[in-house]
Structure formats: C-alpha cells, structure tokens
Amino acid sequence: MNQEQVEKIAYDKSDADSHEALEKFFPIIVDLPPAGTDVLSSLLQSRIAAIFEEMSSDPEERVGGGERFEGLWRSALVNICTNIRKVNLLANDVRAAATLIQGEVDALDVVALLAARRFFPEAYGLIWKNASFFSQSDSWWRSRRFRSDEDLAAQAARVEDGIKVIAQNSQQSPIYPLLSEMFPTPMKGLPAHRRQSDGNDDFAEAEKGKRISHPDYFPIYFLYAVPELIFSSLEMDRFTKELTDTHGDHEARAVFERTLLSFEAESMRRYDFVNKLVNQLQSLRLDLAKSVAFAVAQNADKFGDELLVSERRRAIVAILQVAQRLSESADINAFLAACILQSKTDFFAASLLKVMTSDRPSNKVIQDFKHVDAS
C-alpha cells in the first residue's frame, strides 16, 4: 500500500499522529523496493504472450519476445506500466479483448490500442472519431470518397491539436510512440511530429498483417469496447429464424432490409451485423442466401464509405460468399449478373464487376472462376 495515501484517506492528513494511529493497525511495516523496469517488462511480456498462445496456435499471432514488443516497451509502455498493478490492468484488458477478436487482428496493435484506451481515454476517442485519418481511407484507391487537400489538412491539424492536449504539449509523452506503433504513416505526416517509424503502413502489408492501420481491419479493433456495439450471436440466430420462416423471395428481402434499417447509419453495430452476415451466408439455405444477396444489392446506397470504409466492401463480400456456393456451375454467372442489375448504385455494381473480372487477385472469396463469363 501507499502509506501516505492511506493515512490521508483515513485521517485527512499524513503526519506523525496519523502515522502513529496507522501503526496500531499495522505494527510491522516492510518497505518493498519498486519493481524495476526489467521485471515489469518481463511480467507484461510473459502475460500477454501466454494470452495469445492460449487463443491461437499460430506463432505469428503471438507477441512473445519480438522486436516490435521490445520497441513498444522502450518507447512507450515503460513510461505507462510503472508498477505491477498497471501491468496487470493492461494484461487483463488484453485478455478480455482477445477472447472476442482472437485471430482477427494484430496482437501488438491490440496491446497498443488498449494501453491508449486505459491510460489515455481521450486518445481512444480521438482515434475512433478520426478513423479516416488514422486508417488512411481517404487516400485508398478502393474508397470512392474524395476530399480536398484543404479538408485533409484541416483534419490533420485537428488531430495534431488533439494529441497535443492529451500529451499536455510534451513531445516525450507515451501517447506519441503508442500512436506511431499503430499508425506509422499518418503520425509521420503530422507537421510537429516527424518521428521516423520502423513500422510498415503499406496497404498490402497492413492487410496481410491484419493491422489497425488498414481500413478493412480498423473497425474490428473496436468491437470489444462496448457490448452494445456488437450484433450478438443470439440476435443473428433470431434473424436467421425470421428468414427461415418467410414465404418466398419478397418476404426474405423485406426481413433483411428491415433489420438493416433498424441500425443507426454508419454505426459499429450495423457494421458488425454486415460483417457477421458474411459468415452466416455460408450455411444459410441457398434460396434464402440468394434472396439476402439480392437485398444487399438493392440496398447498396445505404452502405457507408465515410467512417467505415469496409462496410460497403463487406456487403460485396456477402454477395461473393453466395456466389462461391454457385461456382461449380454457370449459375454463378446468372446470379452475379442479377446482383449487378439490381444494385441500387452504379458504384456498387461496378465494384462487384471489378472483383469478378479485372481485379480477381483481390478477390479472396471465389476459388474458381472457370464458370465466370466477364462479358
């Protein structure tokens, strides 16, 4: 315990009298030296490594003794996890998050984001509210959104000001290396922060590593934050049952549209519904899956590209999941043609056409294109 702090709580002061009074309850007090940085680093590293080893057998998903962890510890965590209690708080946060997002994200990005969330909550909100800046979605070729250089510069300035407030204008604040670990390129681009980062923010590498700096993966890192943001498995079961109880294509489409419109636009909860729908369409009865895919195309104008770049792309993947089930015959071609024709927007239709024809390398769903006729 912190004796001086306990005395202030118990007696409103810390002096000889309060010390004597406390001594009656604790006649023997042993002063322990604070844990050294080596001990704290080893403790945090071993706890986090154990968590991710329990969650996955893939060595690439473990934190362990990697250089990235060592770098993050030296640059940021050593100034945050200054005692065993703080180490345990961060490790417990990682364990709670890992059970929900295991295998979906980069382990060290989770550690960095959770450290920001616990010790710099304002920074956590700043990241989420400026998702397009930190995930670089505005400069991504797959995003249809266009913003002027003036708008982008203004957003960067707001982010810079927000970080300065959080760091209390101290360039040595741990918040800078935390953000630089997760978002190397955006942080290097801030005028007042030219820190050279060893991180790789190349989109292909970021996608391969499931990094938070990639627009597709950025939202996933926030799914565990608040249970209300998640579309639960129980709710998905109810949705599936409602689909199963429908009579015909028209009713099935109506169920999807009604469910989609029940969520707030651009919300995490709606994104999670679309994201989980992708997996559900693999096992849903084929006629119902096709009806849902047609409904997705009909509601293409409702999928956002503003805060969550990947909401529209996940909707396209939902259609591709159904197409994959039809890939053994020419039915795939007729199905995709129908989805393109029924698409509410030309951009959605063109995106679907592109991933099935000229941009097949980016299509990770369709395994066999032999029955796909581009014309």
Q: CA nearest 84: which of 132, 125, 47?
A: 47
pLDDT at 140: 57
User: Worst-scoring range by mean pLDDT, 85-89, 194-198, 233-237?
Assistant: 194-198
Q: CA nearest 351: which of 143, 167, 158, 204?
A: 143
pLDDT in tens, 65-118: 578 888 899 989 999 999 999 999 999 998 888 766 666 788 889 899 999 999
What's the predicted TM-score (pTM) here? 0.63
Assign 367 to helix, strand or coil.
Answer: coil
The yes-or-no verdict on residue 143 having pLDDT over 60 is: no
The yes-or-no verdict on residue 144 having pLDDT over 70 is: no
pLDDT at 60: 54
Give the whole-angstrom CA distance, residue 375 versus residue 324.
Answer: 19
Q: For 184-188, which contacts have Cβ atoms below 8 Å and span 24 or more sequence positions?
A: 184/213, 185/136, 185/213, 186/133, 186/134, 186/136, 186/156, 186/159, 186/213
pLDDT in tens, 273-292: 998 899 899 999 999 999 99
The yes-or-no verdict on residue 257 having pLDDT over 90 is: yes
User: Worst-scoring range by mean pLDDT, 59-63, 71-75, 334-338?
Assistant: 59-63
Domain positions in the chain? 37-222, 227-362
pLDDT in tens, 311-328: 888 899 999 999 999 999
pLDDT at 102: 65
pLDDT band of 193, cuts 50, 70, 90: low
pLDDT at 260: 95
The yes-or-no verdict on residue 373 having pLDDT over 70 is: yes
Check residue 227 and report its DSSP letter. Answer: G
pLDDT band of 29, cuts 50, 70, 90: confident
The yes-or-no verdict on residue 246 having pLDDT over 80 is: yes
Residue 78 or 229, more confident: 78
- State the average pLDDT over residues 25-50: 87
Cα dist from 152 to 130, 147, 271, 317, whole Å: 11, 7, 25, 29
